[in-house]
């Protein structure tokens, strides 16, 4: 969304993103749970994109019957999940800092957290089905999957950068609340001004769109122009 978005659209984005913070402050939601769900949402969103790209470039064979097709689809989803776990470790370790170093396995006995994680899994499956349909008529480039991935990935990286400054340990028990607030601010920024957000985060410049070629990242357009 551009910085010239309608006030109503801006208000909707802000309101949608601050709901968890309002729940923590006024309804007693667990900031730790919200932060863990944000992390799960990041991983599952990336898994969906991984699976979609795998399916596009290595589609299941459709001439060997429904069993072979189902097996192929399961393989694509499994590949996306595998890649998700590969990136989960380096992205998840900073989560300990964000939680103030007080990660407790008893958190996963909380039914509200388990319900939230289950809902994230359901939402991820629905997103994959939508991506599956879209990839039948469009390429990953046309769907801007690389850019969408960068926005999701770098949104969490912004938190990682803050976490490694030691904010979590300094803030103590308030650390999860602080990082939830930071995540919400970053998410709003990324939705309202995605190009500015990408320029500010290391590694995001490659996915900035040019004003006159909305489907072509800046660096790719530069290379093509040089060939001409």
Identify the pLDDT of residue 72.
67
Query: Tell me: the pLDDT tens digits for 89-126?
Result: 999 989 888 887 666 555 666 788 888 899 999 999 99
Q: What are phi and psi of 136, to 5 degrees?
A: -75, -20
> Domain extents for the chain?
11-140+153-190
Asked if residues 183 and 18 have their Cβ atoms less than 8 Å apart, the reply is no
Cα angle, residue 43 at apex, residues 42 and 49 outer, rounded to 5°:
95
pTM of the model: 0.81
Question: Torsion angle of alpha carbons 34, 35, 36, 42, nearest 10°?
Answer: 110
Identify the pLDDT of residue 221.
45
Q: What is the DSSP string of 107-127?
A: GGG-HHHHHHHHHHHHHHHHH
Per-residue pLDDT for 222 more than 50?
no
Q: What are phi and psi of 132, to 5 degrees?
A: -55, -45
Spatial CA neighbour of 144 closest among 91, 207, 194: 207
What is the average pLDDT value for the chain, to the nearest integer? 81
């Amino acid at each position: 969304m551009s910085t010239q978005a309608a006030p109503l659209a801006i208000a909707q984005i802000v309101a949608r993103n601050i709901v968890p913070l309002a729940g923590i402050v006024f309804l007693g939601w667990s900031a730790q749970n919200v932060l863990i769900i944000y992390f799960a949402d990041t991983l599952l969103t990336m898994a969906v994109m991984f699976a979609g790209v795998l399916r596009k470039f290595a589609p299941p064979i459709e001439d060997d019957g429904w069993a072979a097709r189902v097996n192929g689809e399961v393989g694509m989803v499994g590949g996306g999940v595998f890649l998700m776990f590969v990136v989960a470790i380096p992205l998840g370790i900073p989560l300990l800092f964000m939680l103030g170093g007080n990660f407790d396995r008893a958190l996963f006995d909380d039914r509200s957290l388990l319900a939230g994680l289950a809902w994230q899994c359901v939402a991820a499956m629905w997103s994959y089905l939508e991506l599956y349909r879209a990839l039948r008529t469009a390429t990953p480039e046309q769907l801007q999957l690389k850019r969408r991935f960068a926005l999701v990935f770098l949104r969490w990286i912004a938190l990682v950068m803050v976490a490694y400054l030691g904010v979590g340990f300094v803030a103590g028990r308030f650390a999860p609340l602080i990082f939830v607030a930071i995540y919400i601010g970053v998410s709003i920024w990324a939705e309202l001004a995605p190009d500015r957000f990408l320029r500010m985060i290391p590694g995001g410049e490659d996915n900035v769109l040019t004003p006159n070629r909305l489907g072509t990242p800046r660096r790719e357009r530069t290379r093509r122009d040089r060939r001409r």
